[in-house]
Chain A
Amino acid sequence: MSDGDGRAGLNGVVVAHGTLASAMVDAAEQITGISGMLKAVSNSGCDRGALEERIWAAIGEAPSVVFVDLAAGSCLIAVLRRVRERPDVRVVTGVNLAMLVDFLFHRTLPAEEAAAHAAASGGSAIRVP
């Protein structure tokens, strides 16, 4: 996987309940104009094993950042079950649109830095104006 300038980029995976992930990926692509760099995974219809397989098929072999909706729940548990075996995969919970946009613009960072950057951006987007 590479950006338009040829640099290698991280794989991004969004895991969420129902149709949330695909909607968020679609929205992030519309905002940034960058498409095909985020994969959406839904937990619909899955038991624990099937969800785990679905997520890790989306992650594949590439260094990745996985964005999960809830900080507690089946999606996070399914990701974390295997994450110890993959130090090149980082997980961010509480996914929002701001963090996905940030990630798409920082995909050439190492996974750990991209995850921290996206989490900070997503956190700072939460306000009560």
Chain B
Amino acid sequence: MPVLLCRVDDRLIHGQVVLGWGRPLGLERIVLVDDDVAANTWEQQLYRMAVPAGIDVVFASVAGAIAGLGAWEADGVRTALLTGGIASMAALHAAHPDAVHRINLGGLHHQPGRSERLPYLYLTDAELSELRTLERDGAQVTAQDVPTAQPVALESIA
């Protein structure tokens, strides 16, 4: 229950996360899982600026998040887990399949090799295949940028 949202979003912390999802879920903590940001205090300052009072931010590497997830699950703090890419979320799911069960694709934008699947979701074929593997491994993957939008099941994303 405490990990309420497992979101893949290449903008990391931004308005859709802290306002769009933060308010209806009553988030008290965002765990930003990114190896680069976890090693960069300047970047961390910037992301802290984007978070309103009342929401704590934890910066973790992928390895750090795998180590910390058990405690975040147990302490009762309403938490969102946020990664900038699929591979990091897949690693978290592999280590904690129960806590990281429902995976939200919130925003992956255009990059070379990716094609548009939804207006806010661009994927390479390899990334789509990676997501399908995640589902075969037990995760439930949907795309949904904001809570008021209808979630889109992975099986309907081509």
From B14, B50, B109, A50 is in contact (CB under 8 Å) with B109
Q: Are A45 and B110 in contact (CB under 8 A)?
A: yes
Q: Count chain B residues whose beta carbon lies closer than 8 angstroms to a beta carbon of A.
A: 21
In the complex the two chains form, is A76's CB within 8 Å of B11's CB? no
Task: Provide the bound-state CA to CA distance between A84 and B109, in Å.
Answer: 26
A-side interface size class: 10 to 19
**Residues from chain B with Cβ under 8 Å of A48 in the complex:** 10-12, 84
Please encode chain A, from 60 to 72, with 1 for each CB lying within 8 Å of some chain B CB and 0 for all others.
Answer: 0000000000111
**B111 at the A interface (CB under 8 A):** yes
Residue A81 interfacial (CB < 8 Å): yes
- In the complex, A45 Cα to B118 Cα: how many Å? 11
CB of B18 within 8 A of chain A?
Answer: yes
How many pairs of A and B residues are in contact by the CB < 8 Å rule?
A: 48
Which 5 pairs between the two chains have the least Cβ-Cβ distance? A74-B14, A47-B109, A72-B50, A47-B10, A73-B15
Interface flag for B52 (CB, 8 Å): yes
Interface: B126 (CB within 8 A) = no
One of A46, A51, A77 near B47 (C-beta < 8 A): A77
Partner of B50 from A17, A76, A81 at Cβ < 8 Å: A76
What B residues does A46 contact at CB under 8 A?
A: 109
Establish whether residues A73 and B43, one from each chain, have CB atoms under 8 Å apart when the complex forms. Answer: no
